[in-house]
Amino acid sequence: MEKTVCELFAGVGGFRLGLERANPDWNTVWANQWEPGKKAQHAFDCYCCHFGKSVNHVNKDISEVDKTSIPDHNLLVGGFPCQDYSVARTGATGINGKKGVLWWDIRDILEAKSPSFVILENVDRLLKSPAKQRGRDFGIILTCFHQLGYNVEWRIINAAEYGFAQRRRRVFIFAYKNTTAYSAYIAKLAKSPECIFNNGGFFAHTFKIEAISSDNICTTELVESDLADVTEHFAYSFGNSGFMYNGTIHTCNTTPIYEDPTLLKSIIEKNVDSKYYLAQNLEKWEFLKGAKKIERTSKSGHKYIFSEGPISFPDSIDKPARTMLTSESSLNRSTHVIRDPETGHLRLLTPVEAERIQGFDDNWTKTGMPERFRYFCMGNALVVGLITRMGTYLNKIFEHEVLLNIAEDREAI
């Protein structure tokens, strides 16, 4: 099977870089990156700096793109935002999703182009949102996939638990058409769901876990007839791992087989410019990082106590980084502050260190964008090495997809 890729919400190219590190044969035939509300499109410019300008590198709101105009591809990838995916009934015209919710653009591409495989990334709270109807949003996504003829596997992955330099928890979704040879292979394993979790499934091959038994697995069916019914009625407690095959959902909580993480001290720069050192606002930093209880008043006039625990100040360089956010480097509670081992003084991370935390090459974002936006791009990015590991196993799946179809032999991959 030809390794053709469509990359959505491409940012500065983390998915593409990860796949190409796994195999340079991955051919990205179309990519879209658009930063809403921004006149300067720095992330897109960075993407083109590394991968070239092309009519198929598109800087346009994805909702305005004619989905049928996108080139055919066998793998769709993208990190999409966690939003409200609910739909509303519209009488005889059917149902409508909320305007501006990017999941519906993904769904439209799946319907128009029908790629054989899909990898998506999102924040881990997707599995539990919204708060008043836990699991509904993910149930809507699974229902969409099921209606379009896909089976799905998911896993919440903390990158540091598998050897990387950041304690970043994200849910990854792997979907595949039920007409693929890979689906036929999984069908045999689905009779014993624990086999998919332990050793047979996509994530089991890529990110090892402690073995589970069938007693650990919860099972349910997608029984709602349409997305409006899911919106109104579906709620479910999804575990951090799971799969859906032919509309049957199996889920459980799994424990990783831990790999030694990359520590901050192994990736920090030497001879860092003095502009990154904290010369002022130390009391403000200590307040932001410290524990606090503050009385606040809601819009309705109700008084309540806002409280939060402390964050290490400074951050230990003998651990992986915390989750990096788009606010990195600003005077913000979530910003990393380390004690430089050369000088003994407190400082911010450099842009290069931020790139290393996410697994990009040094100065990947040094392409003319403001330094503040370099941090923003890294806060928005994913851990590239995770995609490389997934791509390595996808290479095998794609190779066997061709061989198994030719031989009509659906033995285990």
Which CA distances in Å does 101 have to 7, 96, 173, 403? 18, 11, 18, 39
Burial tier of 3 (Cβ tally within 10 Å: 0-12, 13-18, 19+): buried
Question: Phi/psi of residue 235, each to 5°?
Answer: -150, 140
Catalytic: 6? no
Return d(Cα 72, Cα 252) in angstroms, integer. Answer: 35
| Three-class DSSP category at 303 | strand
Return d(Cα 348, Cα 279) in angstroms, integer. Answer: 11
Return d(Cα 50, Cα 28) in angstroms, integer. Answer: 13
Return d(Cα 317, Cα 337) in angstroms, integer. Answer: 10
Return d(Cα 382, Cα 12) in angstroms, integer. Answer: 10
| Three-class DSSP category at 167 | coil
Question: Phi/psi of residue 236, each to 5°?
Answer: -160, 145
Alpha-carbon dihedral angle through residues 131, 135, 137, 141, given to the nearest 10 degrees: 170
21: alpha, beta or left? (left if phi > 0; alpha if psi -120 to 50): alpha
Question: Phi/psi of residue 58, each to 5°?
Answer: -110, 125
Query: DSSP letter string over 149-164?
Result: TEEEEEEEEEGGGBT-
CB-based contact 128:134 (threshold 8 Å): yes
Instruction: Evaluate the omega torsion of the peptide bond into residue 130 and state whether it is cis, within 30 degrees of 0.
Output: yes
Q: Please pick, among 46, 48, 82, 144, the residue that the annotation labels catalytic.
A: 82
For the annotated catalytic residues, the residue numbers are: 82
